[in-house]
């Protein structure tokens, strides 16, 4: 079984609650990503994915963020 690892990062400039919800939906759709949570109040993105696919998935997550909310700065991953 694949062991999932927890990833956490800050989204700087997250100032719209609806956008946070939409962003969460979009990231949820990326294959291999599990248990996504975009917390509007703390400005944090948390998700799980297997360690082997880490590089690829983080790249995809960042791409999705850029597409959905280009003004966000991603910190921590």
Partner 1 sequence: MKKRGIKIIVAFVLFIISLVIKFPNEWLNNGIYILLYLIVGLDIVLKAIRNIFRGKVFDENFLMTIATIGAFAIGEFPEAVAVMLFYQVGELFQSYAVNKSRKSIASLMNIRPDYANVKRNEEILKVNPEDVNIGETIIVKPGEKVPLDGTIIKGKSMLDTSSLTGESLPRAVKENDDILSGCINQNGLLEIKVTKEFGKSTVSKILDLVENASNKKSKSENFITKFAKYYTPAVVIIAIFLAAIPPLVIKGAEFTDWIYRALTFLVVSCPCALVISIPLGFFGGIGGASKRGILVKGSNYLEALSDAEIVVFDKTGTLTQGVFEVQKIEAEGISNEELLKYAAYAENYSNHPIALSVKKAYRKEIDTKLISNIEELSGLGIKAKIQDKDVIIGNEKLMKEKNIEYKKCSEIGTILYVAIDNKFTGYILIADKIKKDSKEAIIKLKKSGIRKTIMLTGDRKDVGENVAKKLELDEVYTELLPDGKVEKIEELIKTKTKKGKLVFVGDGINDAPVLAISDIGIAMGGLGADSAIEAADIVIMTDEPSKINDAIKISKKTMKIVKQNIIFAITIKILVLILSAFGLSTMWEAVFADVGVSVIAIINSLRALK
Q: Please report, as ranges, the residues that interact with partner 1 according to CB under 8 A.
A: 15-18, 21, 37, 39-44, 46, 67-68, 70
Least distance in angstroms from the C-beta of 37 to partner 1: 5
- CB-side neighbour CA atoms (13 Å) of 59: 4
The CA distance from 33 to 36, in Å, is 7
Least distance in angstroms from the C-beta of 9 to partner 1: 13
The CA distance from 67 to 50, in Å, is 23
Least distance in angstroms from the C-beta of 71 to partner 1: 8
């Amino acid at each position: 079984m694949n062991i999932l690892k927890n990833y956490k990062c800050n989204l700087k400039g997250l100032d719209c609650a609806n956008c946070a919800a939409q962003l969460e939906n979009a990231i949820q759709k990326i294959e291999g990503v599990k248990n996504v949570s975009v917390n509007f109040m703390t400005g944090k993105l948390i998700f799980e994915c297997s360690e082997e696919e880490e590089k690829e998935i983080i790249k995809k997550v960042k791409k999705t963020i850029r597409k959905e909310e280009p003004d966000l700065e991603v910190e921590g991953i």
